[in-house]
Amino acid sequence: MATTPSQKPVASELPQDMKFNSGKIDEFVTSLALKYIDRLGGEHYTIEGIKQLAFEAMSNFGYVTISSFDGGATLTDPNQALLWESNGEYYKWTGNLPKTVPAGSTPDSTGGIGPGAWLSIGDSLLRSMLASSTGSQLIGTNHRGTLELDLDAIDRRPDGYANSIQAVLSNGQDVQISDAQTIDSRITINDDYQVIQGLGGSVANINKGQALFADTKAGVKIKDFRCIGLITNGPATGNNVAYAITFTDSSNISIVGSDTYGYTGSVYLQRCVDSIIRDTYSRGNRYHSDVVAGGYGVLLGGCKRIIVDGVNFEADADKGDLGRHAVYVSVIQGAGNFCEDIIVKNIIARYNNINDRNMWGINIRKSNRVIVDDFIINGANAGVALNTADGVINQCQIKNGHVRVLQYDGNAVYGLAGTPDDSSLLTGLVIDGVSFEMEVKAGVTPTAGGLVPIALNCQRSRVSNIKILGRGDSNAFLLGSCSQLTIDGVSETLSGGASTSSFIRFTAAASGISVYNISTPRASMFQGLDNVTNLSVDFDRFARIVSNNSAITITDSSGLIASATITGTGEITVGFKSHVTDNAIRSSTIGPASTGAPIILPEFLTKSVILRFYTAAGVLVNLSASIVSADVSLHS
């Protein structure tokens, strides 16, 4: 007989359907599965499934207490419970039913306590759970979900520790500052990976000193930290030198969102590594003239692998400020520690009536691989300093910035300067995409040569894509002992001062200088060419040599010719100055200055050329009885 059921509607009396259904009756009665499938594909509960539903329903209805372990009982339903009189607790049975409990029993003697056996359903368990260290997890609140989270939040606030931020940190907790706090001494970070977060609150020193300090810590995070100090301009005596936030010999530090006023500087990292300083608002900084220090937004001393991203720096003398450097990449004096692999970007430094000298917007000392990108320095008396007094600045990049410098008195001011006069101390420098505005403060008599956009002593370096709003009575570039320096792409506009100064003035021995793509209204391009060896340019230069009966005169506005002497019959040897390259000499054009003049055949030598003058008949001209001339044009 076929056992595959048909799909006829209920009720089918086909033999195969009757046989199939008889098997399903057995499955309904004896199967431990909770459901079975009928011949039409429908799903139904077995007796075991109906039993499970009943137990769940009874459990949801609550518990029915019957007798006790002492009196004995038989449990037939999952919601029945027995009292154990020795501890006053009720227990339910979670194993197979029915469950027979002899008189005088205990939970342990009749199956034990645990899943699949007896479970306490009384309040003593709840009480013990609430009394445990995790009990606060069991109580809900309207704030953060559980009492545990509320208590954790209180632990992070000073008001949970007698308004002491230090007490919170000493307890090993993170700190949240949601109101105004005062401190009589600096806050000290005790543990690695602690977090201090401002939630609308602030910190104010009631004594002179730092606001926050950590030494040899890792992973500490400072978020949205506001503080006000009591440091004053003047001598660095007592506690009158203090930075708002100071970390020493620490790593993986994150300072995001600091707002400080009234300190020697805002953020100071000393010998720290692998850290980030972001969104620093720095104002009210103080300067200590007796030690020539202070007034810093962010100070890095001997640090490695640091990112400084976002500094808003204000130095306003009308508000009592004497801020100096928005960012100072420095060294640890005497210890030999210097900075390496530093990125500084998104800097705005604003100055008002800061008349003291050496107030550079950005100051970089001995270092390896420092990149400064996207910055504005407005109103300072100096822009970017590359100070090699402590040693070599190697592979530094200054990019995409704007520098507006004001001359406050008769002293010279600079947009960007690399000193002292030793090119080996500033190597691999790149300056690209920077604009310079050189101005004189109202009421100040400008000093000739006193507003210089760029002054350098460097080697293997490049300056490109520069815009200058300068003065004609000051050079655009002062170049000292430079070597292998390329200046490519400078557009200059003059806003004052007679155009009497050259575009570039060489002040010391320089070599391997290339100057291309210059746009300037100045009458003179170079000054001090006698200091230069091998200068390449992309424009033509011209000189004329005339011999009148052996008396030689030279017209040379480009300063090309060092000497011109008669060295034989019909022969003049022209020596070029050291700044003229041999390539320029070999590619020069040389010809007579007038028509019908003798033919000139040049012979090129190192830094010189021999000019031989021939008649049309091919005879060397007698220079003592003739007038000859030669135009020399050097091309790019």
Quote the pLDDT of residue 157: 44
Which of 104-108, 389-393, 498-502, 561-565 bottoms out in mean pLDDT, i.e. has the lowest? Answer: 498-502
**In this model, does residue 507 exceed pLDDT 60?**
yes
First to last CA, the chain: 108
**What ranges do the domains of the chain cover?**
15-59, 64-121, 541-634
For the stretch 450-506, pLDDT in tens is: 899 999 999 999 999 999 999 999 999 999 999 999 999 999 999 987 778 999 999
Contact 323, 315 (CB under 8 A): yes
**In this model, does residue 124 exceed pLDDT 70?**
no
In whole angstroms, give the CA distance from residue 268 to residue 210.
11
Quote the pLDDT of residue 103: 92
**3-state per-residue secondary structure call for 419-442:** ECCCHHHEECCEEEEEEEEEEECC
**In this model, does residue 202 exceed pLDDT 50?**
yes
In whole angstroms, give the CA distance from residue 426 to residue 162.
54
Which of 26-40, 407-421, 538-552 bottoms out in mean pLDDT, i.e. has the lowest? Answer: 26-40
Contact 303, 338 (CB under 8 A): no
For the stretch 303-329, pLDDT in tens is: 999 999 999 999 999 998 889 999 999
Q: Say which CATH architecture domain 64-121 belongs to.
A: Ribbon (2.10)
In whole angstroms, give the CA distance from residue 381 to residue 450.
11
In whole angstroms, give the CA distance from residue 146 to residue 532.
78
Quote the pLDDT of residue 154: 46
**In this model, does residue 270 exceed pLDDT 90?**
yes
> Percent of the chain beyond pLDDT 70?
91
Quote the pLDDT of residue 231: 94
Quote the pLDDT of residue 132: 67
Quote the pLDDT of residue 156: 42
For the stretch 45-93, pLDDT in tens is: 787 877 776 666 555 556 788 889 998 999 988 888 889 988 888 999 9
Which of 103-107, 160-164, 200-204 bottoms out in mean pLDDT, i.e. has the lowest? Answer: 160-164
- Rounded to the nearest integer, the mean pLDDT of the chain is 90
